[in-house]
Structure 1
């Protein structure tokens, strides 16, 4: 049976072989170069940083620089026996140890025995321990003395992605160098160079998606490029990369983001479920939404993003549409909700429900009102009214997607979310009706939302001085009436303001022949309450802020 031919992966083929080929770690490269040139190479280095940043690659390059036949030199020849053997991973003078699988004290003792002998061919024995934080405490203790007084022909390079897990006694014996996450633009340019050299055809947006998905790891980006080249039937397109990574198409993310920003809960959740049914990864959708609102936030601040992100015309169009609608505080709270959701998704046993709740909460977030405007309304004695602008023209659907049968609701058919409840006019009173309390109560009895409240009302009495309406009803129905009143209080205050020009307090009295369980307030307390409620400033607070006087105490 014929064997399937294999080829070297792009990640191995494009592994840096010299200092000049290392991307994004200029501070480490410059330090090591100067150390080699000036003969100040330390006997132990600790490389820490994220995966795929070049830690073990730089350790190999340092070994080449020290053992090259033309060295020590910062420009290894790449052709001598030492350079070739180190590049192929078979040099007897360079020991690469996996700390995760060789983590015990016995392995360290064997290493100490080997280090007693001089190098076979080169000038130095270079010991590279990868993922050194995985060593046991006993192994670290055995390594301490060797690191403190190593043989003159030995150079240690310890590499780790978990710097905090390395004992301080080990760190104090090393020169520690922190590797940075590689910039997205640097990864993008490197991918372009590799594609040009390898003859790979790829869209710019596809390479941008690969660079973003790599999350600062050049090795991951090259591996993803290799996978995309195998998957794509022809040039690598953004659609193919999105399918590999489980990303939603940018136009679909923009549509979902628009409905979230405008507070359209039903439409946002329905479209979100469509994306999940199409197979898009839940976490990727949340991350893409967060990336868009982050871009919107920087645009709202009128500041360029610290990491340049290319914006296509659809993204810029949506940003221009939402800038007049959302303030900085609104976008900040949306980003906060998405950040918390992304964190909870890592541990939640019901990730879909967690995401649904987050999106619904974003749609229901009340808009913040500037304090100056609220105070200005209070000073002028008028209620605060807020009516956001109607949303602009909807985004065109992505290519190949059918146009929705009906346009999403706009502010004309469904009001967006609001902050303080606006005291907008209710249904107009009947023609010729007098704006009296009696007419108002009769009108309330005819309204469906207040029907349960007034079903068992046997009569009412108005105290204009106290600003109170007393409703008489059987005690058995008092609890139900109080519950209904609490649920409808906002709408009731609004109706009072529009029809009566003031807001009354509602209290309940027992019907004839029944005795209230609560003792009536004393005359002094009643007079104090009336004085507070009749105060003009208090009336303005109640009218503008929608407050309610719960208790009056003497001071």
Structure 2
């Protein structure tokens, strides 16, 4: 008889012999006992875990000629001795048809199957179709089988085995009972191959058996295939094959995990030369960089799980690691050298390295680079540790610690205002004031849309005192440091919040009012060399500068800016008049175009030029050209006696024009219709 491989020789023939699928076997046996037989089953899961095997066992149980509950068959397990069980086990039963769906996947083959399903079984109770790799069937073929699955004959049972159940249409899955198989646990595979080794007369140590079970990766068939290959290559002692771990590693092209343990020890000690030496020895021995990276990834994963599960180096185990007890202790020793975050970063770097090795020309260089990255990761400081080195903000009375950088504010950063100090007094210390009289007032003041307020009478000051003129710019928050001439100890610096410039209240006056001085000496306001300037109490006369001079100064300032040519042209065409304390500029621009042509920069340039001319106390008012435009749109005078002329002469119309700046566009003459 020809040699039969271990995976076929020791294939389970009963539900109880199937390892690791108790949730499936128990359910099927109960269904057989209760007679609740479905017309369609889908068995899905990992490769080599018993899907087709359980389908054959279920076919034997359905067509077994021995009644359930008899002496020969006390349970729902097949008797294995009747003619039907023997033929099904041998694979030559007439009424059990096993089809390779990867080959017979077209609509023609499924139509033939559907036509043959109408006939009753030749001998047994059920005609059973086992479709292996059912996900290979095309959608058109599944649609052809759909009606048969929905209303099958009483003697038909379909069993579909697949590794990709998501590729089977939902309409088919909803008409079948779906059983999802689990990967076989390490202990179940280890127990199975230990029993097979005893029956085959093979001497194997526990390390070798554990390595075979780990190589199966949850697949019983893969583990038995590797075991069959290892027995064939094992040395024979006293007529019995001898399996050891080193021989199995050499057969599979892998290295011992002790090598990766040494690599992690070198990484922990920041010894790049040692890590590179180990990698050089492994690569010179003929190991593939991709295979080494794959093994190292698996070992790092085991270290991460050992760290999470708390596996100690001297003992302990967890079901999360499907490896032997010795390997769990090894992973625990490596995990104890690093934190969970470091092991996670190591695993991420090696996963990326493994992916890159698939399409890189020099795989050795990239593998060595991945190992060097692990060494370099040990030299990085965590962000938490870096932040913990900065002192935290102290409480009241303690020293103020450095503040963390805050996010950028939505408003522009205010420019620092010049500090006014007496020449004889020392400059103020560059520290933040301990108290600001406007601190409680900041919460209720907004600067989005400043509204002008009525000018207030400034505090009386000596004639020689000169107050700086507040520029008419958008309001900003400024801090003005004032060193008053008071007897020691000197008063603390006061933080002044400058309000709307339209109010024409200077920061010096506010500071004087807060300090209760009533006035500020000239020495504090200006140095002795500063030329005297007119105070706000004595504004310049409106007629000191003509409107034409002010217009010329503004146009020259805008022309010098080069980028404000449009604004200069607009102000050149405007009509300038000085009325009381206002400079009224009647432009020809519309209300929409006025802020676009004469923008904030142009407005600042004009106000600066006017302030330098001595007219800074006059309020600049820019008027849109709506009135002129409306006047320009007025129709020409109509002929005397016409309806339009009479309408224009009517007192009500004239009053409306004066009050509302009204415009007459259309006049309908109804006299011809009378």
Say whether the fold is shared (TM-score over 0.5). yes
Distance 1:71 1:364, change over 3 A: farther
Match of 2:26 among 13, 18, 30: 30
SS of 1:378's partner is coil
Q: Does residue 1:116 correspond to 2:118, yes or no? A: yes
Alpha-carbon shift at residue 353 of structure 1 (Å) = 4.0
C-alpha distance in structure 2 between counterparts of 1:525 and 1:297, whole Å: 59
Alpha-carbon shift at residue 351 of structure 1 (Å) = 4.0
C-alpha distance in structure 1 between counterparts of 2:418 and 2:9, whole Å: 88
- The aligned counterpart of 1:271 is 278
C-alpha distance in structure 2 between counterparts of 1:183 and 1:310, whole Å: 12
Question: Would you say the 8 A contact 2:335–2:343 is kept in 1?
Answer: no
Gaps of 5+ in 1: 382-522, 528-533, 537-553
Distance 1:205 1:321, change over 3 A: closer
Aligned pairs for 1:267-306 (under 5 A) are: 267-301=274-308, 302-303=310-311, 304-305=317-318, 306=320
SS of 1:112's partner is helix
- The aligned counterpart of 1:39 is 35
Alpha-carbon shift at residue 163 of structure 1 (Å) = 1.2
Q: Does residue 1:312 correspond to 2:319, yes or no? A: no
Distance 1:116 1:216, change over 3 A: same
What do the CA deviations read for 1:214-255 (whole angstroms, capped 9, x no partner)? 111101111111110001113111011101111112332322
**Structure with the bigger percentage of helix:** 1
- The aligned counterpart of 1:489 is none
Distance 1:322 1:163, change over 3 A: closer
C-alpha distance in structure 1 between counterparts of 2:19 and 2:322, whole Å: 18
- The aligned counterpart of 2:48 is 52
- The aligned counterpart of 2:269 is 262
What do the CA deviations read for 1:153-202 (whole angstroms, capped 9, x no partner)? 01000111011111111111111110111111211111111111222111
Aligned pairs for 1:120-519 (under 5 A) are: 120-234=122-236, 235-301=242-308, 302-303=310-311, 304-305=317-318, 306-307=320-321, 309-312=323-326, 316=329, 319-320=332-333, 323=336, 325-346=337-358, 351-367=363-379, 369=381, 374-379=386-391
SS of 2:102's partner is coil
Distance 1:312 1:354, change over 3 A: same
Alpha-carbon shift at residue 75 of structure 1 (Å) = 1.7
Alpha-carbon shift at residue 280 of structure 1 (Å) = 2.6
Question: Would you say the 8 A contact 1:248–1:284 is kept in 2?
Answer: no
Question: Would you say the 8 A contact 1:19–1:74 is kept in 2?
Answer: no
C-alpha distance in structure 2 between counterparts of 1:145 and 1:248, whole Å: 54
Distance 1:318 1:127, change over 3 A: closer
Aligned pairs for 1:91-106 (under 5 A) are: 91-106=93-108
SS of 1:100's partner is coil
SS of 1:74's partner is coil
Name the TM-score, length of structure 2 as normaliser: 0.53
Q: Which moved more, 1:56-65 or 1:113-122?
A: 113-122
Alpha-carbon shift at residue 370 of structure 1 (Å) = 6.1
SS of 2:26's partner is helix
What do the CA deviations read for 1:396-420 (whole angstroms, capped 9, x no partner)? xxxxxxxxxxxxxxxxxxxxxxxxx
C-alpha distance in structure 1 between counterparts of 2:235 and 2:431, whole Å: 78
SS of 1:123's partner is coil
Question: Would you say the 8 A contact 1:65–1:71 is kept in 2?
Answer: no
Q: Choose between structure 1 and 2 for higher RCO, CA contacts under 8 A separated by at least 6 residues.
A: 1
Distance 1:322 1:93, change over 3 A: closer
- Greater than 6 Å deviation, 4+ residue runs: 523-527
**Aligned pairs, how many?**
386
Question: Would you say the 8 A contact 1:330–1:368 is kept in 2?
Answer: no
Question: Would you say the 8 A contact 1:188–1:208 is kept in 2?
Answer: yes
Question: Would you say the 8 A contact 1:329–1:368 is kept in 2?
Answer: no
C-alpha distance in structure 1 between counterparts of 2:253 and 2:11, whole Å: 27
Alpha-carbon shift at residue 307 of structure 1 (Å) = 2.8
Question: Would you say the 8 A contact 2:216–2:223 is kept in 1?
Answer: yes
SS of 2:183's partner is coil
Distance 1:321 1:144, change over 3 A: closer
Alpha-carbon shift at residue 213 of structure 1 (Å) = 1.1
Q: Which moved more, 1:258-267 or 1:343-352?
A: 343-352
Distance 1:526 1:99, change over 3 A: farther
RMSD value, Cα: 3.0
Alpha-carbon shift at residue 367 of structure 1 (Å) = 4.9
Distance 1:140 1:526, change over 3 A: farther
C-alpha distance in structure 2 between counterparts of 1:317 and 1:13, whole Å: 35
What do the CA deviations read for 1:336-388 (whole angstroms, capped 9, x no partner)? 2223334444555654444233222112114565666545532299xxxxxxx
- The aligned counterpart of 1:16 is 12
C-alpha distance in structure 1 between counterparts of 2:150 and 2:107, whole Å: 17
Q: Does residue 1:76 correspond to 2:83, yes or no? A: no
Question: Would you say the 8 A contact 2:130–2:161 is kept in 1?
Answer: yes
Name the TM-score, length of structure 1 as normaliser: 0.64
Question: Would you say the 8 A contact 1:265–1:363 is kept in 2?
Answer: yes
What do the CA deviations read for 1:405-453 (whole angstroms, capped 9, x no partner)? xxxxxxxxxxxxxxxxxxxxxxxxxxxxxxxxxxxxxxxxxxxxxxxxx
SS of 2:276's partner is helix
C-alpha distance in structure 2 between counterparts of 1:344 and 1:35, whole Å: 50
Question: Would you say the 8 A contact 2:214–2:322 is kept in 1?
Answer: no
Question: Would you say the 8 A contact 1:261–1:322 is kept in 2?
Answer: no
Distance 1:526 1:141, change over 3 A: farther
Alpha-carbon shift at residue 257 of structure 1 (Å) = 3.0
